[in-house]
Structure 1
């Protein structure tokens, strides 16, 4: 079975669920071709994924454990190179992963995320007011006007990103998840990202504030080389303020040992993942309830919670469908005659896990807020690489969906038929969500 013919992953994600079913049917792991002709093993069964995601023989460090990357056979010209070339906790292994995760975890705690609820409620209220005023009873694209705007404001405020960088960053992030991009476009996008990030870090060094970027810069600058900080005392005060605001004990000094590239790459990971994940999740939850009114009725009757909606949305349509890339540190016997060879890349199909019939039953493709296994998904990863932003994404989605249906109780989908999806096999979300708002609910005195 190690010599089976691989099939090509659709770079544009045309039918990711059918593709995932094929991966599951092939066995515990099957050969696939990624864009650019890179060969990998795809894993689509939930139990196999859970085993691999905690297996110390599986690494995410291409510089140490992917021979094709080390030798230059696959290099920066690969269209998806940015997914393995960045140096942050998502691409680290072992003690390096712990070192790089520590400062981010200290600054991005569940407590800090929960503390954002008042601001999330405020932003959601503002966006709903805008919808009601600009399109009373009319049709709007909820992805653009609502699902996109909420995480943009929250995440960009959380990281202290100046508004002049919002537009360029949106363009860069969209290209980041475009897996049909050419090598030339990918390299231009990476160069643009370097410019924007250099500007952001320089801006926050000159003007530190109570934000995660300033806290991470302060931790790095005051513990590695204080001379790189504009004002070491200001930097220390910023890190302390971040800790007091909910960053958790140890935020100050947590960046010890970070290089400048690791600092920048960590920031790229945190706000990129935080933005794209939430946009897709909010869209999915809204869409599923709009096209399944009986499910919405269960929530309104108190038989299910908005948190149940979020978990079932995560299960049926994970915001990120595939995880790139992991590498076998040594040969891994997957069973059924399949051995992933040392140095081979591994593609984890988080989307496949959510619809694995072995876990979720024969009706795994059906949205059901009462499903007993709704929380048994891998949409935020598993093990040491579990997503730090999971609490924030869940909170944003629950608040957004609850407030939307409270404000527009008669909202309905505009038109019929399947909606287009983003052209990516990594990012998994709707390209647009056209909705007729209907009359607004009476405003309480």
Structure 2
């Protein structure tokens, strides 16, 4: 009897879109799938909850791209768009002692105590933005306003920029550039490289301003940081760390807030549970993180040896994507109704959307604080808020990495 034919690797569509149907098809084959990355580069994605949890914390899995031979031996061209992930320098692409050194320089700003101190400012920003949302709806035809543009984006963008000491005049440009460099996966290599150069230059300008006039902000602290041996961030590490915090500090929280609002508007029974006090806004955040993770498939990790993950061998040096959106709906872990949005789900808080292991997202407490305040204040002010168009008609981001929609048209008063 002949052995079964192995499945053909999935060719990733750079335009991305809603990931859940694809995740279900691939997960039906197993917890790990071979993929072909844009540019024809072979890779893999880990899709199952248990397999991903094991992989993220495995001692033989690295983040440093020196473990990705094809990136350096001429196999992959210099203008490969996904090089921006592999070549970045910072704690998200480092391992072991380097990772601990870089993480320690940033971590003090994101302790639970430090984050809680930000609560009054987040509440103040949320209130002002809800006023802006109300004005936008009142002035728009049909009372339709874009919640993405007027609330879900400017709230986390303002918070992370204030933390980093970024002047307001740079914020719109920073969002546009980080979206092109990190989020959009359907742009040309030339567009991505041009945006990357512009972004690095802009971050350099921001850092230079803080060198010239240090303040009570994280960028000034990073510039001045010393460890016990007198080490400080190199310029590349500083730029890479700031880039990471700018992207992770607003894009993921933007997605979390937007995805939660879409879920609640299309599951009014779940919204009613919260408004009636039978569930909390923290429950909503947990279930949204699981059910519609802000990040779909995130690059890259590299096995430092041939690695067996749930019965599939991933060869050494393979660029591997973490399939957060797939793991969130893994029925083997979250139950047979994992496709259902349920704010009372007991496993929701155990999702992997913020990662696992040494690289667990240190900004998770801040993201949770921002999203919880945003949702609570939004529905307290506008309890009848609803989508202005059918949810399936809202266009998704053109990305296989980020999981969100391009805009979120809402009415603040139901018709």
TM range (shorter): over 0.9
CA pair 265-42 structure 1, distance change in 2 beyond 3 A:
same
The secondary structure found in structure 2 opposite 1:302 is: coil
Counterpart position of 2:354: 380
Q: 1:115 aligns with which of 114, 117, 137?
A: 117
Q: Is the 8 A contact 1:110 1:391 kept in 2?
A: yes
Confirm or deny that 1:343 pairs with 2:317: yes
Q: What's the CA shift for 1:5? A: 2.9
Counterpart position of 1:358: 332
CA pair 271-2 structure 1, distance change in 2 beyond 3 A:
farther
Q: 2:76 aligns with which of 61, 74, 81?
A: 74
Counterpart position of 1:21: 24
Counterpart position of 1:161: 166
Confirm or deny that 1:131 pairs with 2:137: no
Offset from partner CA, 1:350-387 (integer Å, 9 cap, x none): 11110000011222111110111111211110111100
Q: 2:9 aligns with which of 6, 31, 34?
A: 6
Q: 1:196 aligns with which of 199, 202, 206?
A: 202
Q: Is the 8 A contact 1:32 1:42 kept in 2?
A: yes
Question: C-alpha distance in 1, partners of 2:166/2:224?
Answer: 16
Q: Is the 8 A contact 1:278 1:396 kept in 2?
A: yes
Q: Is the 8 A contact 1:103 1:255 kept in 2?
A: no
Q: 2:366 aligns with which of 392, 398, 406?
A: 392
Q: Is the 8 A contact 2:186 2:398 kept in 1?
A: yes
TM-score normalised per structure 2: 0.94
Question: C-alpha distance in 1, partners of 2:63/2:195?
Answer: 23
Offset from partner CA, 1:321-364 (integer Å, 9 cap, x none): 1120111101112243x211111221110111100000112221
The secondary structure found in structure 1 opposite 2:72 is: helix
Counterpart position of 2:236: 261
The secondary structure found in structure 1 opposite 2:274 is: helix
The secondary structure found in structure 2 opposite 1:27 is: coil
Write out aligned runs for 1:86-97 (5 A). Answer: 86-97=88-99
CA pair 118-75 structure 1, distance change in 2 beyond 3 A:
farther
Question: C-alpha distance in 1, partners of 2:229/2:13?
Answer: 40
CA pair 59-291 structure 1, distance change in 2 beyond 3 A:
same
Q: Is the 8 A contact 2:32 2:310 kept in 1?
A: no
Confirm or deny that 1:61 pairs with 2:53: no
Of the structure 1 ranges 327-336 and 375-384, higher mean CA displacement relative to structure 2 is found in 327-336
Q: What's the CA shift for 1:134? A: 3.9
Q: Is the 8 A contact 1:326 1:346 kept in 2?
A: yes
Write out aligned runs for 1:321-336 (5 A). Answer: 321-336=296-311
Stretches of structure 2 lacking an aligned partner (at least 5 in a row): none
Q: Is the 8 A contact 1:205 1:214 kept in 2?
A: yes
Confirm or deny that 1:40 pairs with 2:4: no
CA pair 198-438 structure 1, distance change in 2 beyond 3 A:
same
Counterpart position of 2:380: 406
Q: 1:52 aligns with which of 46, 55, 70?
A: 55
Question: C-alpha distance in 2, partners of 1:26/1:256?
Answer: 48
The secondary structure found in structure 2 opposite 1:274 is: helix
Question: C-alpha distance in 2, partners of 1:426/1:119?
Answer: 30
The secondary structure found in structure 1 opposite 2:353 is: coil
Confirm or deny that 1:288 pairs with 2:263: yes
Q: 1:369 aligns with which of 327, 332, 343?
A: 343
Counterpart position of 1:147: 152
Q: What's the CA shift for 1:253? A: 6.5
Q: Is the 8 A contact 1:62 1:70 kept in 2?
A: no
Question: C-alpha distance in 2, partners of 1:438/1:15?
Answer: 27
The secondary structure found in structure 2 opposite 1:175 is: helix
Question: C-alpha distance in 1, partners of 2:214/2:39?
Answer: 41
The secondary structure found in structure 2 opposite 1:156 is: helix
Confirm or deny that 1:277 pairs with 2:282: no
Question: C-alpha distance in 2, partners of 1:134/1:41?
Answer: 44
Offset from partner CA, 1:133-183 (integer Å, 9 cap, x none): 343492211001110111111111111111232232111011021011111
CA pair 344-131 structure 1, distance change in 2 beyond 3 A:
closer
Question: C-alpha distance in 1, partners of 2:157/2:5?
Answer: 44
Question: How many residues get paired?
Answer: 406
Offset from partner CA, 1:291-343 (integer Å, 9 cap, x none): 2111111011111001000001111111111120111101112243x211111
